[in-house]
Structure 1
Amino acid sequence: MAIRFDGKVAIVTGAGGGLGREHALALAARGAKVVVNDLGAARDGSGGSSAAAEAVVAEIIAAGGEAMANGASVTDPVAVQAMVDAAIAKWGAVDILINNAGILRDKSFAKMTLEDFRFVVDVHLMGAVNCTKAVWDGMRERNYGRIVMTTSSSGLYGNFGQANYGAAKMALVGLMQTLSIEGAKNNIKVNCLAPTAHTRMTEDLGAALPLEALGPELVSPGLLYLVSEEAPTRVILGAGAGGFERAYVTITQGDFAVGPDALEQVAARFDAISDRTGEIVPEMGGAQGMIELTKAQKHHS
């Protein structure tokens, strides 16, 4: 049976182009009313124009859908709250939030200024926090919400020249882990999408990627599943070129070392500590402590 979003209201940030545009068009095509948010800034976050968001809204309306443009910067919590209020005033609620807005200021860490580090974290991490905070109480009151954070392989696994971007993107995984726990009792499902796509953000990679195979529209089906009524929660979904994968944060069973030579034991047993046999995906952070205490109890019993 086809997955539909009739009657649902979605906010997509950074939706004036690239992935965000495809997400917005795909949601609208399946019945959602969409707030197309885009500051219209350059790739490094400078400047701003509402033209990009308005063009996407025009596309949606021309196709028979419903949409409204919004030019708020996700770094401005007052403007973000006003965006959410406008959506609620027009359509009654916000059911879906896709935190997609982002910028790049790539440089090796040695050459990167603290301002460039701070601003990238502010847009990606605090931008998602601002938007999520603005919709959270309404979702809790109505016992329904679907939220996606846009993470990245650069955060999950690292990438040269992207210390700022990678730090922000991995921080979003931590945010998702906790919000998925806190939102569970109110049917708020929170997930992460790690996309691979050729957009304005990746144009400098050029010949390093088979760009014709990496259309952003190939990512959106995974995104739509993560915000559907039957969505999972606490998922990190990789998507690109029509491929979909799951990433996990795991912990090994490890080994035990105490005493005056504990350091030397750790060094000698590092292969055993690293052995992935029996590794788990913890339900929450306390699982690490339980694994450690279990080893201690076995040692002392």
Structure 2
Amino acid sequence: MEKTQGAERSGQRMLEGKVAIVTGSGGGIGRDIALAMAREGARVVVNDVGASLSGEGTDDGPAQAVVNEIRALGGEAVANTDSVADAAAGQRMVACALDSFGRVDVVVNNAGILRDGFFHKMGDDQWDAVIKVHLYGSYHVSRAAANHFKEQESGCFVHMTSTSGLIGEIGQANYSAAKMGIAALSKSIALDMRRFNVRSNCIAPFAFSRMIASMPTDTPEQRARVDRLKEMTPAKIAPLAVCLASDAAADTTGQIFAVRNNEIFLMSQPRPVRSVHRGEGWTPQAVASHALPALRAQYHTLDRSGDVFSWDPI
């Protein structure tokens, strides 16, 4: 198989001997991560239910097509078409890895759907579908792998979060809540499992994919933004995911990264910004007259992701 420049310099592929499960890898970001991990020596379980962007329908073609690509490169891969929203799916995916390759070392939680809508118009079905695939799905697959990672005292989780949750976005309450939940899930896994040499990190990817293709283009500004986002291909996300899954990132856990074209960001995590103290305690009136005025200068603005990442992709 072809090697990356770093691997060529070192003579050793970064994921040699490792087995990775990549959910939602029949296309987009997941496909490029699966291919990149295979190029770096990983044997890959390619999971994709073959659903539409809204989560409807199934098709085993996408997963098998990526398996065929990996095999054409000289790598090893198997297809899995379980839905991550199913509580038993994670167990079946891990069993697939163990049955096919004898171990599991890496879980990439990438599977996702969108069912956008303004919060005041959102239905329970829209909320449940997105939470189940993104947040429950990340939990199901991670939990299934956790005991194996614990027993072998090694393992790595890479979860896909989003600036829609970390910063904010209009019309995506379900997606944003799930993605913020995934960031907290990753941090909890990192804290709970570091004693077993198990790592967990997040990536907030900027990439033109089926999800971005669904964004509205009703105004010139929206069309211009989508055109800029088209420059960010899914392949730009894969190098960070591969590195985080490798032993080269052995000291990296509990972090949140973002990738935007050729830029990699380390994202902040909530910490106290400023405090006020009142020795005699607080009344509602004192909060209004003292606490809020003292804290107001440090209020966070009501930003969307595009307000913070406002420059053209580099």
Q: TM-score, normalised by structure 2?
A: 0.84
In the alignment, is residue 18 of structure 1 matched against residue 40 of structure 2?
Answer: no
* Deviating more after overlay: 197-206 vs 109-118: 197-206
- Return the offset for 1:224: 1.6
Judging changes above 3 Å, is the alpha-carbon distance between structure 1 residues 131 and 261 closer, same or farther for their aligned structure 2 residues?
Answer: closer
Judging changes above 3 Å, is the alpha-carbon distance between structure 1 residues 188 and 270 closer, same or farther for their aligned structure 2 residues?
Answer: same
3-state secondary structure, aligned to 2:264:
strand
Q: Which amino acid aligns with 1:224?
A: V
1:146 corresponds in structure 2 to: 156
Matched residues, percent identical?
39
Among 222, 226, 238, the alignment partner of 1:220 is 238
3-state secondary structure, aligned to 2:78:
strand
Aligned ranges 1:82-161 → 2 under 5 Å:
82-161=92-171
Number of residue pairs aligned between Structure 1 and Structure 2: 276
**Whole-angstrom CA distance in 2 between matches of 1:260 and 1:142:** 51
Q: Of the two structures, which has the highest relative contact order with CA contacts closer than 8 Å and spacing of 6 or more? A: 2
Deviation by residue 1:129-187 (Cα, 9 ceiling, x = unmatched) = 00001100000000001001110000111111100000000001111111100110001
Deviation by residue 1:71-105 (Cα, 9 ceiling, x = unmatched) = 00001122321221121122111100000000000
1:245 corresponds in structure 2 to: 265
2:311 corresponds in structure 1 to: none
**Whole-angstrom CA distance in 2 between matches of 1:199 and 1:236:** 21
2:44 corresponds in structure 1 to: 34
1:235 corresponds in structure 2 to: 255
In 1, are the aligned partners of 2:206 and 2:229 still within 8 Å (CA)? no
* Deviating more after overlay: 241-250 vs 24-33: 241-250
Among 244, 247, 254, the alignment partner of 2:275 is 254
1:270 corresponds in structure 2 to: 292
In 2, are the aligned partners of 1:252 and 1:275 still within 8 Å (CA)? no
**Whole-angstrom CA distance in 1 between matches of 2:284 and 2:82:** 52
Judging changes above 3 Å, is the alpha-carbon distance between structure 1 residues 168 and 212 closer, same or farther for their aligned structure 2 residues?
Answer: closer
Q: Which amino acid aligns with 2:240?
A: G
Aligned ranges 1:279-294 → 2 under 5 Å:
none
- Return the offset for 1:258: 5.0
3-state secondary structure, aligned to 1:77:
coil
Q: Which amino acid aligns with 1:252?
A: V
**Whole-angstrom CA distance in 2 between matches of 1:272 and 1:139:** 47
In 2, are the aligned partners of 1:254 and 1:275 still within 8 Å (CA)? no
2:59 corresponds in structure 1 to: 49
1:292 corresponds in structure 2 to: none
**Whole-angstrom CA distance in 1 between matches of 2:244 and 2:134:** 19
Judging changes above 3 Å, is the alpha-carbon distance between structure 1 residues 256 and 201 closer, same or farther for their aligned structure 2 residues?
Answer: same
3-state secondary structure, aligned to 2:15:
coil
Runs of 4+ in 1 over 3 A off after TM superposition: 258-267, 269-276
In 2, are the aligned partners of 1:28 and 1:34 still within 8 Å (CA)? yes
In the alignment, is residue 179 of structure 1 matched against residue 195 of structure 2?
Answer: no
**Whole-angstrom CA distance in 2 between matches of 1:261 and 1:157:** 31
Q: Which amino acid aligns with 1:96?
A: V
Q: Which amino acid aligns with 2:247?
A: E
Q: Which runs of 5+ in 1 are unaligned?
A: 277-301
In 2, are the aligned partners of 1:257 and 1:265 still within 8 Å (CA)? no
Q: Which runs of 5+ in 2 are unaligned?
A: 1-5, 8-12, 218-222, 299-314
In 1, are the aligned partners of 2:204 and 2:259 still within 8 Å (CA)? yes
Judging changes above 3 Å, is the alpha-carbon distance between structure 1 residues 143 and 111 closer, same or farther for their aligned structure 2 residues?
Answer: same
1:289 corresponds in structure 2 to: none
3-state secondary structure, aligned to 1:213:
coil
**Whole-angstrom CA distance in 2 between matches of 1:261 and 1:66:** 63
- Return the offset for 1:264: 3.9
Judging changes above 3 Å, is the alpha-carbon distance between structure 1 residues 10 and 271 closer, same or farther for their aligned structure 2 residues?
Answer: farther
In the alignment, is residue 65 of structure 1 matched against residue 75 of structure 2?
Answer: yes
2:220 corresponds in structure 1 to: none
